Amino acid sequence: MKRHEQINHPFVGVIAKESYPHQEVFKPYPLVKSVVVALFPYSNQNKLAPKGTYLPAKMFYGRDYHLVVKDKLQEFVVKWELPDAVIGVDTSPLDERLCAYLAGLGTFGDHNLLINPTLGTFFAIGTIMTSAVFHEYQQPIAELCTHCGACLKACPTQALTGGFHKERCLSNLSQKASSDFSLYDLMHHTCYGCDLCQDACFYNSHPDYSLPELAWDGLSVLTWEGFLQLDAKQYFDYYRDKSWSWIAYERMLRNLMVLRHHDQALSEQEVIQLATKTTKPWFLKHLQYLRGQHGKS
């Protein structure tokens, strides 16, 4: 069997199949011998949203990272002649962050994110399962997190206190049809995702290494008035190249509605209008909750 040379790239590592602790995931892929792991940086620079407009977290400033990473990984498959390649971005059966750790690309921080010495935490991860066997495999590096507590203090929902509590994470809540309405009262910064713990991490005070495809584009600015002109199909068609398109119209409308309420700009007339947008109970209950909070914020 041909052995591949070590891949010389600062943000790419390779692990042997045997080093992954959950061997059962490879059962549908009997040819796999190695996993190539790659990091793809996105911007660490905050954009300021003009009054009355809303922005997602920085990971979503550019084109859908799933599409970008898949394209880049396919280029790697061709460039490095990786046989029997299976590309994964979020949908992989592998724990991609664990693979990146095992490949020496970073260590976990108290914010539950992987820290790379150069990129900090602002990157997407992709994997390639392959039947290629390499001369050399990477190993985990020494721990980077100093447990300074900055990320814990930055999280308004205390999702990081005493471990990671996904159900309290604002990034997770922005994607869900959750009934934890009081937690959304703490969502003030982004309409999808959250950067607060990452912005607090001193490993992220570095130059902007963003790939051009993941850098800022104007389509990331959402306006209240413009969004209300869209229906569910128009929403998907318009934002099909954005990572947030999958959460569906009602969830993004809920997020914008919450932020507008926090801006004390959600009028009684708009509340009535929103009630005609959908019949989904979780949305109408959240709308009723905000109506009860009207004037309190």
Per-residue pLDDT of the chain (297 residues; tens, 9 = 90+): 557 777 888 999 999 999 999 999 999 999 999 999 999 999 999 988 888 899 999 999 999 999 999 999 999 999 999 999 999 999 889 999 999 999 999 999 999 999 999 999 999 999 999 999 999 999 999 999 999 999 999 999 999 999 999 999 999 999 999 999 999 999 998 999 999 999 999 999 999 999 999 998 888 999 999 999 999 999 999 999 999 999 989 999 999 999 999 988 888 888 888 998 888 999 999 999 988 886 554
| CA-based nearest residue to 266, from 286, 244, 245, 236 | 286
272 found inside a domain: no
58 found inside a domain: yes
Residues 255/191, Cβ–Cβ less than 8 Å: yes
Q: How far apart are CA 180 and CA 178, in angstroms?
A: 6
73 found inside a domain: yes
pLDDT, residue 295, reads 55
Question: Which token pair is 9?
Answer: 């790239």
Burial class (CB in 10 A: 0-12, 13-18, 19+), 124: buried
127 found inside a domain: yes
Name the domain count of the chain.
Answer: 1
Residue with tokens 């800022």: 216
157 found inside a domain: no
pLDDT, residue 268, reads 83
pLDDT, residue 2, reads 58
| CA-based nearest residue to 40, from 220, 243, 176 | 243
Q: How far apart are CA 222 and CA 215, in angstroms?
A: 16
- Exposure b/e, 139-155, CB count within 10 A at least 16 = b: ebeeeebeeeebbbebb
Q: By residue range, what is the domain housing residue 25?
A: 3-134
| CA-based nearest residue to 177, from 253, 101, 228 | 253
59 found inside a domain: yes
213 found inside a domain: no
95 found inside a domain: yes
Residues 130/137, Cβ–Cβ less than 8 Å: no
